[in-house]
Chain A
Amino acid sequence: MLTKNNEKLYNFLVPILSIVLGFIFGAILMLFFGYNPILAYQAMFNGVLANPFFFGEAMRQATVLTFTGLGFAIAFKAGFFNIGVAGQVLVGWVTSIWVALAFPDLPRILLLTLSLTAALLVGAVWAGIAGVLRAYFGTNEVIVTIMLNYIALYLTNYLIRNVISTGGNTTERVGPNASLRVDWLTQLTQGSRLNAGLFIAIIVVALYWVFMTQTTAGFEVRAVGLNRFASTYAGMSAPRNIILSMFLSGALAGLGGAIHGLGTFGNIFTQSGLPGVGFNGIAVALLGLGNPVGIFFSAILFGVLDVGSGFLPNRAGVPDEMAEIVIAAIIFFVGANYLIRFLFEKVKTKKTATEGGE
């Protein structure tokens, strides 16, 4: 029997066990190909955790992944698979840079607010398109968001080349009053690109939790996700909640894109593909099981893995793709959490059975 406590325990155990199993799987694979897994994991974690710069970079990556993870999670809670996070990140990124370059003389607090808000809105509208189409025409949001990803990619490249810059591949850098960098953070992490986005991320994690658990709107979003027909019967508007959840999803992704732009790069350049932080956000959300705090910590883990993977080839002689395999394995085990639950239940019943027998 599944009690509420048990369920909580599982929600904690599934990601932890998945991470452990993912690392073990990676280790077995490395042994199979003749690499030394201890050396590899050591290079990865030592490289990141023992050096303020690389730890700062990992946290910077985690910041952006928190946004994309939360963005994906909120739509997922409402029952949608927003695979367009990457495109929403990109439109948010380009918007923030565009706004920051358009009003270079505004005071910092005003310009940052304006830039971030604009990015948030554009991201929200971008995802909202898929939400509206879904709500009123029943269009499959997966297909629509995939298509919107490519529209975002080529539109962004067009804007960079023809509107924001003149014929170049890169825009100007935004001025210091549009940058999210904070001196003490940069110094603390020995020159990494970790920025004030981290604090915005922590605030957003808290807001997300409040919205989902403490407000009626959040309850409705979850209810629609659990059973759309039952919630319609209960008097909630399904279309309204579909659009709202996609809107919020895109807003979070767009904000993440702005923080990537104003914090990490300070400009935008023509992209040859969709930003990887968008897709990794999906993995982060899945590992975090939709819990905002869980998402924050899984974002940190992914940040460490991502930055740490750079150490694999040179310090351990292992291809850096191995880190991606570990990530993929972790996600696989999260997806297969039924297996973990099943094994856990089995062990438990056996235990109680033997105990009871005595």
Chain B
Amino acid sequence: MKRSIWRDFTIGIIEENPLFTLVIGLCSALAVSSKVENAIFMGVAASFVMVASNILVSVIRKMVPNQIRIPIFIVVIASFVTIVDLTMKAFFLAGYEALGVWIPLIVVNCMILGRAEAFAYKHGVIRSIADGLGKGLGYTLVIFIMAIIRELGGTGQIVAFENTIISLRGFQPPQILQSFPGAFFTFGILMGLLQKLQRKGE
């Protein structure tokens, strides 16, 4: 039975969430989820690269010789990442400086190469867009939720785009949530909760 395009999109959000279920692309997710603002920038940047590389890989898939497909995917992904990098440097300096090395590192994010290899190389353009959008949204949602927990819990407030959105008074924030161990704790607990919820549904 052929999956619908809508299904290609929605499956990336929970059942095949790149972070919680497929468990790929973790390092950037753990690194940038200490601030909500960074999580949004990173989510948008990674989703853009994923959708764009999915489209291009899908378009050229019949012309790409099988033996050299991986280097070609890498060149495609690296080009889009560099475009994002240059564009952010010119127009979104705050985001560019906050994310730093994590933008160029999108190139080696296995989530994106993984989608090119596992999906876009075998499917048409429209379905590849749906897949890229769904996986991108799944990735963005997870780092966004993690960032809310880590920033609010670790600093006692959420500051995004120069506005304080929430500020907890009289709360001594545990700094560990801001550091890398805190990222692992948050990620592990969320992943466990999601697994439990999914088991219940079965």
Chain A bound to chain B: no
Contacts from B to A (Cβ < 8 Å): none
